[in-house]
Amino acid sequence: MTDKPHYLAHRKRLRERFQRAGATGLHDYELLELLLTYAIPRKDVKPIAKALLQHFDGLAGVFDASQQELEGVPEVGPISATLIRLVKELCNAYLAERMKKRDLLSSPQAVVDFTRMKLAGLPYEAFLVIYLNTKNEVIDYETVHEGTVGHAIIYPRRIVEAALAHHAASLILVHNHPSGHPEPSEEDKRLTRTVIEATRPVDIRVLDHIVVGRDSYFSFREAHLLPG
């Protein structure tokens, strides 16, 4: 009988460590390695996991990468790239579900967690609106514009029309800064005032405007920058 490939025993040990204690004690490359074992059954995937982390500068970069970018890494095929992207989308769906049925004024971290996962890693600026009912619970959310790096054109009238169509009582505005720095620009402040002025005649409140970066966020509400 021929000897079994060495990586099979290693995979078994990784699975057992994860089953016992979850991610505790596992390095980032080992977590990614374990994930890749479900897409690449007959190969030592440790070098691939390490190559991905190096190429995209960490786990966040790996999960923010596009299908094409992932497949551009040697030995990462369409199945592996799809699995990685699926995990990211499952995380988005999980955090979106956690955000629902909560009073978001008393649970603002749920909004931050969801929007950072969804927007912070994008290479371009995107503007998202969360529509809320009278209990400050999520009705729906949508990305109303995607722009180039550092610039997104927002039309307040479109936001008002969408809010009325959703029967929203209030809104939370969110956009990302691809630079990674969430401090609002003067343009961000002007836009916030413009949207508030546009929604006031139809009795729809803007509860917050959150700017997300890769590692942090800025809340207009927490900084007391929302116009009265």
Give 155's contacts (C-beta < 8 A, 6+ positions apart). Answer: 145
The mean predicted confidence, pLDDT, of the chain is 90
Q: What percent of the chain has pLDDT over 90?
A: 71
Banded pLDDT at 1 (limits 50, 70, 90)? very low
Alpha-carbon gap, residue 140 to 130, rounded angstroms: 6
Distances in whole angstroms, Cα of residue 31 to Cα of each of 22, 37, 46, 124, 177: 10, 10, 10, 28, 28
Supply φ then ψ for residue 167, to 5 degrees: 55, 40
CB atoms within 10 A of CB 208: 23
Alpha-carbon gap, residue 145 to 174, rounded angstroms: 11
- Three-state SS at 16: helix
- Three-state SS at 207: strand
Q: Terminal CA-to-CA distance of the chain, rounded, Å?
A: 78
Which residue spans of the chain are classified as CATH 1.10.150.20? 6-92
Q: Give pLDDT tens digits for 179-200.
A: 888 999 999 999 999 999 999 9
DSSP H or E segment with residue 210: strand 205-212
Alpha-carbon gap, residue 64 to 126, rounded angstroms: 14
Q: Give pLDDT tens digits for 155-175.
A: 888 999 999 999 999 999 999
Give 21's contacts (C-beta < 8 A, 6+ positions apart). Answer: none
In DSSP notation, 98-124 reads: HHTTS-TTT-HHHHHHHHHHHHTT-SS
Contact in structure between 46 and 13 (CB atoms under 8 Å): no
Which residue spans of the chain are classified as CATH 3.40.140.10? 103-219
Distances in whole angstroms, Cα of residue 81 to Cα of each of 42, 68, 143, 156, 213: 17, 8, 24, 37, 24
β-bridge mates for residue 211, sequence order: 175, 218
Instruction: Assess whether pLDDT exceeds 80 at residue 5.
Output: no
Q: Give pLDDT tens digits for 36-52.
A: 999 998 889 999 999 99
Per CATH, the number for 103-219 is 3.40.140.10
Per CATH, the number for 6-92 is 1.10.150.20
The pTM assigned to this predicted structure is 0.82
